[in-house]
Amino acid sequence: MSKKISSGQKRSGAAKDLPCRDCGETVHNVDSNTVSCVCWRCVSKMINPHSKMISDLPHEEWVKAIKTEYKKDGRSEDTTTES
């Protein structure tokens, strides 16, 4: 007797799109039986409220945030090696 190997999660119906219950952003490819869902951004913010979403920042703020993190970690903006 051979065991049937599961190829992943079984869906009971077609996929659908639902709004995130926290921010309202559309979450794609949700099971047809799902009533409510939370998008990945809101899950990330729930886990770490101080996290920054790089994709949400304008370019200037993104560059400023990167430079601030490097200074905080003790690295300089100059990455050349000394001879």
pLDDT, tens digit (0-9, with 9 covering 90-100), for 8-45: 566 567 889 999 999 999 999 999 899 999 999 899 98
Q: Which domain holds residue 43?
A: 16-72
Whether 83 is in a domain gets the answer: no
How many folded domains does the chain comprise?
A: 1
31 within some domain: yes
Q: What amino acid is encoded at 62 in this protein? A: W
Q: What count of residues does the chain have?
A: 83
Note whether residue 81 is domain-resident: no
Residue 80 lies in a domain: no
State the pLDDT at residue 17.
93
Query: Residue 78: inside a domain, yes or no?
Result: no
Q: Which helix (H) or strand (E) holds 40?
A: helix 40-47
Q: Is the pLDDT of residue 82 over 80?
A: no
How many C-beta atoms surround the C-beta of residue 25 within 10 A? 12
Pairwise pLDDT comparison (56 vs 9), residue with the higher score: 56
pLDDT > 70: what percent of the chain? 66
52 confidence band (pLDDT: 50, 70, 90): confident
For residue 50, is it within any domain?
A: yes
